[in-house]
Amino acid sequence: MGGTTPEKMLDDPRTVRISGDGTAAVFRRADDVDAENRPDDQRGEPVPEAYVWCNLTSGNSARALWLLLLPFMVVNLAHWMRPTARGHRRSVRLYGLLVRLTGLTLTVLLVAAACEVALDLAAWQCAGTHACAERHTWLGFLSPDASHHGWWSDPGRRLALAAVVPAALTFLLWYLSRRTWSAYESQQPISRKAEPEEESDGTALGRPGFWYGRRLVARLRAAHTAAGLLTVAAALATTAARFDRDSGGSTLLDTLGRFLVAAILITAVGVVWVVCRRGRSENFIDRRLDEHLVRRLPLGALALLVLSAVYAGWARPGWVSAGRLPGDTTFGTITLVQGGLVIALAVVARVLHRTHPDPRAAMRGLGGPAVAMLACALGGVMSGGVSQRVSDWLDGTGTSIAGPPVLLTWQASVIPVLILVLLVLCGGLGWRAWLLRRAEMSTIELDYAGEPKDTARTRKIATTRAMATLTDRGPLVVAVVSTTTLLLGAGALIGAFTTDKAPAQAAEPSYAFVHGAAQTAQALGSWLIGLGFILFVTWGRRAYKDASARRTIGILWDVGTFWPRAAHPFAPPCYAERAVPDLTWRMATWTRATGGRLVLSGHSQGSVLAAAAAWQLKPAVRKRVALLTYGSPLERLYGRWFPAHFGPAALSSLHQDVDCWRNLYRLTDPIGGPVGLPGDCGPEVDRGPLKDPLGYGRTALHPLPAPVLGHSDYQADPVFAEERERLLARLRPDLPTPRPEAGAPSQADSGRSSA
């Protein structure tokens, strides 16, 4: 994952690409390229193939920039975390609608932060203050004093010029979304007839149109692009209209400003209507495209932005910039709307969970709302961090400009409290892991009975097992962080609006201890945001240059970008919309042409792709496939966090539909785990936990100390080859074979595809 080569997967230095391109491809050993034409030479041996997809998540260096899209990716995950529910179509649609609206607020928040930096801090405050403009000579032509009241020094014209920055950011997001769609997600699945809307097999992943969301992504891309442009237009138009209304200036300009603001509001309502109107079409492959909407909505918003820039740039005698632009109202409204949406989402999720309770579901069905809250928090921290750092950079003395909105300062001040809560939680988890390690030490001695005792060796194995269990505490961590974030965010919002002062200033009349704590929290929060932002940029820059760091980011992206972009079009692209059709096409066409049988093996995230591809096959083809998974997060992560798609009913249906399924796992593996399915549909899925390490001490078989493998090198365990041979033997040769196509190669005895 993130670096596996076909040579390693096939255990042969000579491999040949038989299908695919440089992004994802199918490889065979050089000796097996024409195996179908030489069935007598195979003598019943399997023909291994490797589907290499690592470049989809850790390819060129530009993908490190996807880190900037992290909040969008997280809110998109929340869409797929809804609880299992059948017969509650309206509640399911309401859940998706609330997540899409939350995603829309994140776009507005990001563009509003860019407006805060470019329009408020740079053009309005710094360029309008002599001391600040004198320190930054590149702003001289915008400063009334430095430019001797030049043409660009008018406040409205300064704002119009600065609006290029957030507008360019919006166009960049639009371009990336459109480009990645063409590169990754434009692959069409195999055409199949439409299916009923209800989930007949326990999951929607088998529906014909699940991995093809072109129409929805295009609609959302148009709506979010328009929302970003309208945010910039509103910042320009409302600022100029406020001056025209309060100064008693030109009646014509005042009237034009009112009409322009009304047009922006009406278009914004249209954007919300587009986001609310329609979700995904999964029951069939929807190749239609709302071309008029996709083109006209962004163009209309762009026209309003141009008109707003012209309106704001009109000459207004006596207009000077002072104080801040009204950013507190903007950011406060966004924060309030996000909190309301998350609470409403939690209510809907709870109702859905109670209809079909799943004891293994994370946070009793509230995983989606909690993750949506984290997405909003990430967006707020990133926005506040950029604003705070730019303000500190522009205002070297800390006295020349007013700085960012008060609300952003309050939000930064609560970060130390959140970190303190996290430290306490980590301490509790560490204590629990220490107790578990003590219990595991006696268990390990029983697992390696008869071996000479080595306390250091036993402690190392026990520590690895104990640390691997921390993955199962993920729901607790997310629950604590999201709840604390919601409460602290509400406190920051109340504090900012009731005092209209920064925390340190608001606490001045209070006790000395309270005032000191407020000062410390405010200063520490500002530094923490700055440090986090610097680390974020540094990590992205390192990943841009370092291939190994890119692979690390690719591993994180494997989970975050597995799901289609259903809630946010600017999220990083979904690699599974390329990988799943690739696998499905390969398996379906090969079995149809040869009548062969498959053992589909997948490690880690490859096991999730294998399951998704198997669900996309027709039932007759699915019965010709055996599944071998190892180090698989199918139940441990996906089943708990995405119960509607990988819950017990979905995994049971997969167990029943394929010929046979076996799963391998280790107690030292922090990612993979048991599936927990009984043998009702055949052999029990899980094999008992594999030994890790294979040898405790030095033996004739392992003369050197065997490593603790954890999540890696499952194929090095003899059990892997044993289970694969059992599956190959189980695939009966008398299975009914599809009719070979004209001119197709002769039937091979068997085959294997490795994801």
Q: What is the pLDDT of residues 596-651, one digit of tens each?
A: 889 999 998 899 999 999 999 988 889 889 999 999 999 999 999 999 999 988 99
Residue 15: phi and psi, rounded to 5, are -125, 155
Q: In whole angstroms, what is the distance from residue 599 CA to residue 231 CA?
A: 53
Strand partners, 48: 752
Question: 407: which residues sit within 8 A by CB, 6+ positions away?
Answer: 327, 328, 331, 332, 335, 492, 493, 496, 497
Q: In whole angstroms, what is the distance from residue 715 CA to residue 497 CA?
A: 60
Going by C-alpha positions, the residue among 562, 647, 658 that lies closest to residue 604 is 562
Q: In whole angstroms, what is the distance from residue 576 CA to residue 557 CA?
A: 11
- Please say whether the beta carbons of 229 and 301 come within 8 A: yes
The alpha carbon of 578 is separated from its chain's Cα centroid by a whole number of angstroms, namely 17
- Distances 291 to 181, 215, 298, 303, 733 between C-alpha atoms, Å: 16, 10, 12, 18, 51
Token pair, residue 475, equals 């729901």
Helix (H) or strand (E) holding 636: none
pLDDT at 752: 40
Residues of the chain with pLDDT under 70: 1-3, 40-44, 58-66, 182-186, 192-202, 397-398, 533, 537, 539-556, 679-682, 732-755
pLDDT at 738: 44
Q: In whole angstroms, what is the distance from residue 573 CA to residue 526 CA?
A: 32
Question: 169: which residues sit within 8 A by CB, 6+ positions away?
Answer: 110, 111, 114, 228
Which residue matches tokens 């069939």? 284
- Distances 661 to 83, 487, 653, 684, 711 between C-alpha atoms, Å: 25, 45, 11, 8, 20
Cβ atoms within 10 A of the Cβ of 39, count? 16
The alpha carbon of 364 is separated from its chain's Cα centroid by a whole number of angstroms, namely 21
Token pair, residue 432, equals 């629990």
Q: In whole angstroms, what is the distance from residue 170 CA to residue 184 CA?
A: 21
Cβ atoms within 10 A of the Cβ of 318, count? 7
- Please say whether the beta carbons of 187 and 19 come within 8 A: no
pLDDT at 750: 37
pLDDT at 679: 65
Torsion of CA 168, 174, 175, 177, to 10 degrees: 150
Q: In whole angstroms, what is the distance from residue 739 CA to residue 287 CA?
A: 30
Cβ atoms within 10 A of the Cβ of 430, count? 13
**Strands 48-52 and 25-29: what pairing?**
antiparallel
Strand partners, 20: 25
Residue 292 class from Cβ within 10 Å (0-12 exposed, 13-18 middle, 19+ buried)? exposed
Token pair, residue 457, equals 């060796």
Helix (H) or strand (E) holding 393: helix 367-394
pLDDT at 502: 84
